[in-house]
Amino acid sequence: MKTIGLIGGMSWESTVPYYQIINETVREKLGGLHSAKIILHSVEFDEIERCQSMNQWDKAADILGSAARGLELAGADFILICTNTMHKVFHEVQSFVSVPVYHIAELTADELEKNAIARVGLLGTKYTMKEDFYRKVLTDRHIDVLIPDSEEDISLVNTVIFEELCLGIIKDSSRREYLRIIEDLTRRGAQGIIMGCTEIGLLVHQEDTDTPLFDTTYIHAKAAAEKALTD
């Protein structure tokens, strides 16, 4: 079994499911008392968020890159960045290490292709929804990407993430707003919705909507467990 390196803490609320999903997948595959070999570097999220809001992406890349290097030195065979937004510095982080860093959007695109999804709605932080670093991975795979069509809805999705979900606050009113936005994206032709922030799965679940949901936390973590066992 390979050792999985996790760069977590962005936020820690969504790092918890990574640990659980990876271990549940390993137990499901191997049975008995088997569990995953995991090394976790949990960063201080306030520092990362300040880098984001102040446009200091080079500093954020150095923080995550140093974390990745430490994970490699500690024995990680490959690494996950346990957040969608910070894949903005994916290539910089990969340059710090010789082991693979598995891209959350690439693995999500694999899942979309398996389900024959050609047009998808994307929810996440404002960086993930509006910038090219994430969407381009999907469009390069010939998947059309839709985001909320008003600045108000983009701001709402982003605010709920940072001011509620990252703090462990779950509100029914926010769930209703997300479901309204999902319904709108579906009306515009989305065949499914990428929950492109690792916290969104804490708020919205498949039983809440008929539109297929693609939870990036689950996709990323499950793929990591399978790679640890099969690569």
CATH number of the domain encompassing residue 190: 3.40.50.1860
Q: Both 120 and 141 in a single domain?
A: yes
Q: Name the least confident of 176-180, 197-201, 208-212.
A: 197-201
DSSP 101: B
Q: How many domains does the chain have?
A: 2
**What sign for the dihedral angle of Cα 68, 72, 78, 82?**
negative
What is the per-residue pLDDT across 45-87, written as a single tens digit (0 to 9) for each? 999 999 999 999 999 999 999 999 999 999 999 999 999 999 9
**Quick one: 128 and 93 in the same domain?**
no
Do 158 and 74 share a structural domain? no
Q: How far apart are CA 178 and CA 148, in angstroms?
A: 10
Binned at pLDDT 50, 70 and 90, residue 119 comes out as very high
Identify whether 82 is a catalytic site residue: no
Average pLDDT, the chain: 96
Percentage, residues of the chain above pLDDT 70: 100
Could you list the residue range(s) of the whole structural domain that residue 167 is in?
105-215
Q: What confidence tens digit (pLDDT) does each residue in 130-179 have?
A: 999 999 999 999 999 999 999 999 999 999 999 999 999 999 999 999 99
Tell me: do 134 and 94 sit in the same domain. Answer: no
Percentage of the chain modeled with pLDDT above 90: 96
Do 19 and 99 lie in one domain? The reply is yes
Q: Residue range 108-119: average pLDDT?
A: 97
Mean pLDDT of the region 114-137: 95
Q: Which of 51, 82, 166, 197 is catalytic?
A: 197
So what's the pLDDT on residue 198? 86
CA-only gyration radius of the chain, Å: 17
Average pLDDT on 178-183 reads 97
Catalytic residue among 25, 83, 85, 198: 83
Residue 207 dihedral angles phi and psi, to the nearest 5°: -70, -10
Cβ-count burial 23-53 (b if 16+ within 10 Å, e if not): bbbbeeeeeeeeebebbbbebebeebbebbe
pLDDT at residue 26, rounded to an integer: 97
207 by Cβ neighbours in 10 Å (0-12 / 13-18 / 19+) ranks as: exposed
pLDDT in tens, 31-45: 999 999 999 999 999
Residue 142: its pLDDT value, please? 96
**For position 231, what pLDDT does the model report?**
62
> Do 18 and 97 have their domain in common?
yes
Whether 230 has a pLDDT exceeding 90, the answer reads no
- Give yes or no: residues 29 and 79 share one domain: yes
Average pLDDT over residues 181-186: 98
- Provide the token pair at 153: 């809805």
Say whether pLDDT at 29 is over 70.
yes
Same domain, 77 and 10: yes
Asked if 197 is an active-site residue, the reply is yes
Q: In terms of domains, do 30 and 79 share one?
A: yes
31 with 76, same domain: the answer is yes
Q: Are residues 9 and 91 in the same domain?
A: yes
Identify whether the C-beta of residue 192 lies closer than 8 Å to the C-beta of residue 211: yes
Q: 117 and 26 share a domain?
A: no
